[in-house]
Amino acid sequence: MKHSLIAIASVVTLHPVWSQKTTTPSKIEKKSIEKTATSSKINFVEYDLPNGLHVILHEDRSVPIVAVSIAYHVGSKNEKSNRTGFAHFFEHLLFEGSKNIGRGEYAKIVEKNGGTLNANTSQDRTYYYEILPSNQLELGLWMESERLLHARVDKTGIETQRQVVKEEKRQSNDNQPYGSFLATMCKKVFQNHPYSWIPIGDMEHLDAAQEEDYVNFYKDFYVPSNAVLSIAGDLSIESTKKLINNYFSSIPKGQAINLYRDFVNYSTADFKSKYGQEKSIFDTANFLQSKNPKAIELIKKFESTPILFNRTAIVPTPLKGQTIDTVYDNIQLPGVFVGYRFPEQNNKDFAAVQIMNSILSDGNSSRMNKSLVEKKQQAVASFSFGFPLEEPGLGIVASIGANGIDSKTILQSMDEEIERIQNELVSKEELEKVINQYENTFIETTSTVAGVAENLADNYMYRKNTNLINKQLEAYLSVTAEDVQRVAKKYFTKDARVILVYLPKQAN
Amino acid sequence: MKKLAIALTTTIAIQATTIAQIDRSIQPKPGAPTSINIKDSEVFTLENGITVIVSENHKIPKVSVQLILGASSIPEGKKTGVSSITGELLMSGTTNRTKDQLDREIDYIGAQLTTSSEHIGLDCLKKHLNKGLDLMTDVLYRPSFTEAEFDRIKKRKESDILSAKTEPNSMAANASARANFPNNHPFGEIETDETIKNITLDDVKMLHQAIFTPKGSYLVFVGDITKEEAMKIANEQFKSWKGGEKIERNNGDGYFSDARRVLFVNKPNAVQSTINVTFPMKIKLGDKNQLALSVLNNIIGGGSFGTRLFQNLREKHAYTYGCYSKAKITQEGSYFVASGSFRNEVTDSAITEILNELTNITNEYVTDEELANVKASMAGNFARSLEKPATLAEFAFRTIRYNLPNNYYKDYLKSLNAITKVELLLIAKQYLKVENCNIVVVGNESILDKIKKFDADGVIEKLDALGQTITERKAANITQNQLFENYLQKITSTSSIKDANKKLKKLTTLSQIVELTTPQIPVSILFTSIKKTPFSEFETFEIQGKIQGKSIFNGATGYEESYGQEKKILTTSQIEDKLKIGGIIPEINLLNNSSSMTLLGIESINGKDCFVVKYKSNESENYFYYDTQTYLKIKATKIEAEGEQSITYSDYKEVKGILFPQIISFSIGGLNLEGKLKSIEVNSKIEDSKFN
């Protein structure tokens, strides 16, 4: 129960197999200095290409496989409020193929070469990966560089994927019990902020969008300076760097990438009218090395025009008071979902908030499980979690009620558990327990090369500190019982929350 | 060109000025082939019957210890849910630790300790292994099985059952399980409020005692542990565990329908239809066809993007977010299922396309390209699976438990490579019974008309969310007593109940012999039934002169006996049943006992409207069906803990002034036995000793 709800809650994916995580940032600084982190456990090498692509490499020879991933720093929060669902839509669209990869071939090529692939989208970023036999590393680089450089963003692909995404929404949200809770909650907790919609977005927006809207989204966000290439597995650092140089350094920098894309996609006349130059001045086979002085001049000009990303946090309208809404759904058991505003994941309070969530609902010994599920038997599942987001985000405390229990009773019991933490310090044993649980989880996430690649990318993208992979516990170790009490009072407040009560719809 | 480029580009430092020029239109070739190293796990046995498997992997400091029991699944019938409660109750405390203590200690070391009726598993950091084992063995040896925890779990299950009633995938899974594995197969048993209510704590304790035995069990160590350490643990903590013989049982292969069925589960307001196209398969793990069948499934729809189902239903038609197939092969029953969720409007188109894909693959060779692609993809999956430390241990476990050839996994890639399209077509024809599949649809009632055409007889079976058949009934327009009176008048060809009774009073004995045949059994079965008023009865089933089953009742005591099994004396409530609904013409009796019967209404049986009467006792549920036109009885169904049995009656003919059916057919378990009356005698002399 808990798992399926969290799956609805958190992610949208290309292929309904995996589940996901989320996020934080600031501005991508360009450094071409190469740093080699030598940490206790996970060693890696990272550097920037001149076009701004950040590269992270981790060598692990234990099994002959390699994970190739790119995280793009674009999620649903980068969407316009009348064009929601774009980031996730792209996650689908970018499997349609590229200039050099036929339509529908992208996934097939990976699979027939012994690999697997998928992608997922959160509010803050979009993540693509392949896991391949290690002798196919070059294939993975070629494919990801194609996705970055010239993906097919055209009518045919858009039409197919529009329908597929609608089915995804029906399957994951509309046809699932409580499946609308996150969208409803976000709308109420956030006003004037892109977190007010969820990544799957509004299907009417996808319908209303024109091909050009999609092309522009690609041009704005799918550029090297907005991406992190993270590779982990059975590889040699030196030869991998060479391959990366081949496939990614040739991707134009700044706005030159879009000049190049227009050169590829525009008709001669359209190109001329936009840029005032003939397409023929460029070298088709080697665009960046075009010899024509006018071409060189144009490329230089666009290379030096950076692509800007607005990373300024938007301040949502403050949440005031307590809102209660009832939703009648096709369910049998009542559900009570309480939404709070949580701090952003890089906030110093976030670790304490997460610890509070764990004390409330991680494991059978957690407080809400003991109280609501086992002792009072008012709920079949009871949980508390926060979305790790780049901007101040959302926390959910929720229960699915037991048969015949009134939603008010459930809410009251959930509130009692929060009040207990607000009024009495949590025990030393509970803090230690949570740290031990996290230690186990963190070690588990680094047990696969795919897990390492994603973890490295996240730490760089959201925290600008890739090496945090080796210090995952640190932030939690310094949290005290007083910290937990303080964040309980600050964020889990009745003065600013939204309560959604789900009740069974009367059958006809 | 590309190689040259690589040779020229030696350092990153020069990248800014000389960007390598690669030809992007050419897909890169793979590097030198990688080799896969499959290390043998260590295997040894303990005197008490445990097989220990150790697979070392020191990449991360974690250890997993799994104790896997050897018992077969046991049908749970009216107590379905007893094994799941047993599994859960194990985590509810020991004689040393209350549940709260146990939970706290497990969570404190960040470990996972899981239990079911098939295993106990521990997963923890190496540094916490001793503590973890302490908890694991406490749960294994000293579960407390308290009444309070038992009641709590039972109560929570009521809510679980309710919530499962709204989740489309579990609704579809329930219906599919019932369609493929009806009649007491453990796979087709679904927990309901009633089955949960029937379970007692003693049932749990008994089951626990029967299945938790070292004999035939496996203890699997994986991760940051050496063979010596594992051996020490096994010897110190598991060697002295004692228990009985392991339960071994053949639950059969499921129900193979002889025609295509559509089963519908209503999900009010559904915006999608969740579809399962499914059928059982006769194959077990370790079968020589197993790998080829899984190749075939991966071409059809086994989880990747390139499969026929995914490409057709999603990429070509955009009917769905995903459409997949699965060939589930187990020791205790195997099945195929193709599934997905599709918007209401395209429900029938989606079914058509799924059936097309299944039909095509049984008619034509797969393409060489497809086969090569799937082989490469499966080889890749195999390699990737080795990243998980548990994989090698699982190989060793499966090799032993399912009697796979010793080199099955070492030769896996070779065997995979050897599979041909000719072989696949044969496999497809052998296992994919597209014409006889079950099409399960969970969705909105508005789509019912669209899916009727897929059913062989056009009658859609309706199931509830838990896979139980829903019977739709109209209200009866006569009373129960009127019904019985009409029946009795009909069979006696009289026009008043008085006359009917007068005639029936003269009826003292009835002897019938029925010859039963079924395509599933090459020889015929003789069913003999002898009855004497008021309640004596004698019944046998015999094959080629050999009695296979016998049941005897003299009006006060009796017994049942099956070939090779112990005689079972009738229980008080079985006797009570016989006295209520037995006799030569049970309806005479039913009329007198009408307070324990319920006339449920009118329902359709094979297109015929019938009155339905229910009689429920402690032992069984019985349904009697009477034609609304003729009032003749056409069917009787008895549902007991051991299963369901139906008898259908037709072709009534007069013998000594009373109508008796000439066709008497049985449906027992998955077996349909068609019966023709061979001889009938009324009021011949039969000694009472026959019934003792």
- Beta carbons of A133 and B383 less than 8 Å apart: yes
Task: Report the distance separating Cα B456 and Cα A249, nearest Å.
Answer: 62
For residue B669, what pLDDT is reported? 61
Nearest to B9 among A50, A242, A373 (CB): A242
Neighbouring CB atoms inside 10 A of B56's CB total 19
Task: Report the distance separating Cα A398 and Cα A377, nearest Å.
Answer: 15
Look at residue A349 and tell me if it is in a domain. Answer: yes
Residues A333 and A286 in one domain: no
Task: Report the distance separating Cα B24 and Cα B664, nearest Å.
Answer: 75
Residues A110 and A251 in one domain: yes
Torsion (CA) B438, B440, B446, B452 in degrees, nearest 10: 0
Q: How far is A492 from chain B (nearest CA, A)?
A: 24
Chain A residues whose beta carbon lies within 8 Å of the beta carbon of residue B326: none
Q: In angstroms, what is the C-alpha Rg of chain B? A: 31
Query: Within 13 Å of residue B359, how many CA atoms lie on the same side as its CB?
Result: 8
- Beta carbons of A49 and B15 less than 8 Å apart: yes
Task: Report the distance separating Cα A14 and Cα A117, nearest Å.
Answer: 10
- Beta carbons of B387 and A142 less than 8 Å apart: no
- Beta carbons of B322 and A16 less than 8 Å apart: yes
Q: How far is B298 from chain A (nearest CA, A)?
A: 11
Give all strands of the β-sheet with B461-463 in edge-to-edge order.
B320-328, B334-343, B272-281, B438-443, B261-266, B461-463
Q: Name the domain boundary from A271, A303, A335.
A: A303
- Beta carbons of A135 and B27 less than 8 Å apart: no
- Beta carbons of B6 and A446 less than 8 Å apart: no
Chain A residues whose beta carbon lies within 8 Å of the beta carbon of residue B60: 443-444, 446-447
Cβ A114 vs Cβ A102: under 8 Å: no
Q: What chain A residue is nearest to B372 in terms of C-alpha separation?
A: A112
**Which secondary-structure segment (H or E) carries B322?**
strand B320-328
Residues A33 and A137 in one domain: yes
Torsion (CA) B339, B340, B345, B348 in degrees, nearest 10: -20
Nearest to B103 among A4, A175, A363 (CB): A363
- Beta carbons of A402 and B343 less than 8 Å apart: no
Residues A94 and A163 in one domain: yes
Look at residue A424 and tell me if it is in a domain. Answer: yes
Strands B218-223 and B51-56: parallel
Torsion (CA) A452, A455, A460, A466 in degrees, nearest 10: -60
- The verdict on A128 touching B (C-beta cutoff 8 Å) is no
- The verdict on A15 touching B (C-beta cutoff 8 Å) is yes
- The verdict on A330 touching B (C-beta cutoff 8 Å) is yes
Q: How far is B268 from chain A (nearest CA, A)?
A: 7
Look at residue A475 and tell me if it is in a domain. Answer: yes
For residue B272, what pLDDT is reported? 92
Task: Report the distance separating Cα A29 and Cα A48, nearest Å.
Answer: 9
Q: How far is B155 from chain A (nearest CA, A)?
A: 9
Residues A372 and A471 in one domain: yes
Residues A247 and A336 in one domain: no
Closest CA to A379 of A407, A356, A359: A407
Give the mutation candidate from A175, A287, A291, A503 for the B interface (greatest B CB count, under 10 A): A175
Torsion (CA) B228, B233, B235, B241 in degrees, nearest 10: -160
Closest CA to A82 of A221, A219, A180, A210: A210
Residue B44 sits at the vertex; the CA angle it makes with B38 and B47, to the nearest 5 degrees, is: 165
Q: What phi, psi does A215 have (nearest 5°)?
A: -60, -40
Q: Name the domain boundary from A247, A270, A303.
A: A303
State how far the alpha carbon of B279 is from the alpha carbons of B395, B438, B451, in Å: 28, 6, 18
Instruction: Give the pair of three-digit tokens for residue A213.
Output: 């809207």
**Region label for B606, one of left (φ > 0), alpha (ψ between -120 and 50) or beta (otherwise):** left
Task: Give the ipTM.
Answer: 0.88
Torsion (CA) A179, A185, A188, A189 in degrees, nearest 10: -160
Give the mutation candidate from A100, A171, A243, A368 for the B interface (greatest B CB count, under 10 A): A171
Residues A131 and A279 in one domain: yes
- The verdict on A427 touching B (C-beta cutoff 8 Å) is no
Residue ranges of E strands in B358-508: 438-443, 461-463, 473-474
Q: What chain B residue is nearest to A252 in terms of C-alpha separation?
A: B19
Buried-state track B630-645, b at ≥16 Cβ within 10 A, e below 16: ebbbbbbbbbbeebbb
> Please, which residues have CB within 8 angstroms of residue B403's CB and are 6 or more apart in sequence?
B286
**Which secondary-structure segment (H or E) carries A293?**
helix A293-303
Give all strands of the β-sheet with A12-13 in edge-to-edge order.
A12-13, A116-121, A126-133, A65-72, A227-233, A54-59, A44-48, A35-37
Q: How many CB pairs under 8 A join A and B?
A: 266
Collapsing DSSP to helix, strand or coil, A234 comes out as coil
- Beta carbons of A246 and B305 less than 8 Å apart: no
Closest CA to A360 of A497, A494, A487: A487
- The verdict on A229 touching B (C-beta cutoff 8 Å) is no
- pLDDT profile of chain B (692 residues), mean per 10: 36 40 89 85 95 93 96 91 96 97 97 96 96 98 97 93 89 96 90 94 96 96 96 97 92 90 92 95 93 96 89 92 94 95 95 97 96 93 91 91 90 94 97 95 93 92 91 87 93 92 92 86 87 92 86 92 82 88 88 81 83 86 92 89 82 93 83 87 91 88
State how far the alpha carbon of B558 is from the alpha carbons of A200, B512, B563, B642, B689, in Å: 67, 20, 17, 19, 12
Q: Name the domain boundary from A240, A274, A303.
A: A303
- Beta carbons of B31 and A137 less than 8 Å apart: yes
Task: Report the distance separating Cα B675 and Cα B661, nearest Å.
Answer: 10
Look at residue A310 and tell me if it is in a domain. Answer: no
Domain hosting A450: range is 321-504
For residue B660, what pLDDT is reported? 94
Look at residue A315 and tell me if it is in a domain. Answer: no
Q: How far is A255 from chain B (nearest CA, A)?
A: 17
Chain B residues whose beta carbon lies within 8 Å of the beta carbon of residue A453: none
Nearest to A160 among B59, B110, B318 (CB): B318
Look at residue A312 and tell me if it is in a domain. Answer: no
Residues A325 and A211 in one domain: no
Residues A332 and A291 in one domain: no
- The verdict on A171 touching B (C-beta cutoff 8 Å) is yes
Nearest to A62 among B59, B159, B320 (CB): B59
- Beta carbons of A363 and B162 less than 8 Å apart: no
Closest CA to A415 of A323, A325, A497: A497
Buried-state track B567-598, b at ≥16 Cβ within 10 A, e below 16: eeebeeebbebbbbbbbbbbbbbbbeebeebe
Chain A residues whose beta carbon lies within 8 Å of the beta carbon of residue B379: 114
Residue A332 sits at the vertex; the CA angle it makes with A327 and A337, to the nearest 5 degrees, is: 45
- Beta carbons of B159 and A333 less than 8 Å apart: yes
Number of domains in chain A: 2
B440 DSSP β-pair partners: B263, B276
- Beta carbons of A131 and B318 less than 8 Å apart: no
Residues A365 and A249 in one domain: no
Look at residue A222 and tell me if it is in a domain. Answer: yes
Nearest to A245 among B9, B33, B61 (CB): B9
- The verdict on A134 touching B (C-beta cutoff 8 Å) is yes
- The verdict on A444 touching B (C-beta cutoff 8 Å) is yes
Collapsing DSSP to helix, strand or coil, B32 comes out as coil
Q: Give chain B's domains with CATH numbers.
A: 42-237 (3.30.830.10), 261-463 (3.30.830.10), 473-691 (2.50.20.10)
CATH number at residue A352: 3.30.830.10
Residues A377 and A457 in one domain: yes
- Please give, one letter per residue, the 3-state secondary structure of B118-141: CEEEEEEEHHHHHHHHHHHHHHHH
Nearest to B380 among A17, A115, A362 (CB): A115
- Beta carbons of B306 and A107 less than 8 Å apart: yes
Q: What chain B residue is nearest to A48 in terms of C-alpha separation?
A: B12
Task: Report the distance separating Cα B447 and Cα B645, nearest Å.
Answer: 33
Which segments of B458-538 does DSSP mark as H helices, in order?
480-492, 497-505
Collapsing DSSP to helix, strand or coil, B1 comes out as coil
Per-residue model confidence as pLDDT tens for chain A (508 residues)? 333 443 333 445 555 432 222 222 233 333 333 333 333 479 999 999 999 999 999 999 999 999 999 999 999 999 999 999 999 999 999 999 999 999 989 999 999 999 999 999 999 999 999 999 999 999 999 999 999 999 988 888 899 889 889 988 888 888 888 999 999 999 999 999 999 999 999 999 989 999 899 999 999 999 999 999 999 999 999 999 999 999 999 899 999 999 999 999 999 999 999 999 999 999 988 899 999 999 999 999 999 999 999 888 888 889 999 999 999 988 889 999 999 999 999 999 999 999 999 999 999 999 999 999 999 999 999 999 999 999 999 999 999 999 989 999 999 999 999 999 999 999 999 999 999 999 999 998 889 999 999 999 999 999 999 999 999 999 999 999 999 999 999 999 999 999 999 998 875 4
Look at residue A212 and tell me if it is in a domain. Answer: yes
Task: Report the distance separating Cα B660 and Cα B511, nearest Å.
Answer: 11
Task: Report the distance separating Cα A375 and Cα A378, nearest Å.
Answer: 8
> Please, which residues have CB within 8 angstroms of residue B305's CB and are 6 or more apart in sequence?
A15, A95, A107, A108, A111, A117, B311
Chain B residues whose beta carbon lies within 8 Å of the beta carbon of residue A137: 31
For residue B115, what pLDDT is reported? 97
Task: Report the distance separating Cα A171 and Cα B513, nearest Å.
Answer: 56
B552 DSSP β-pair partners: B538, B559
Give the mutation candidate from A49, A118, A176, A403 for the B interface (greatest B CB count, under 10 A): A403
Cβ A452 vs Cβ A232: under 8 Å: yes
- The verdict on A264 touching B (C-beta cutoff 8 Å) is no
Residues A360 and A234 in one domain: no
- Beta carbons of A99 and B35 less than 8 Å apart: no
Q: What chain A residue is nearest to B305 in terms of C-alpha separation?
A: A107
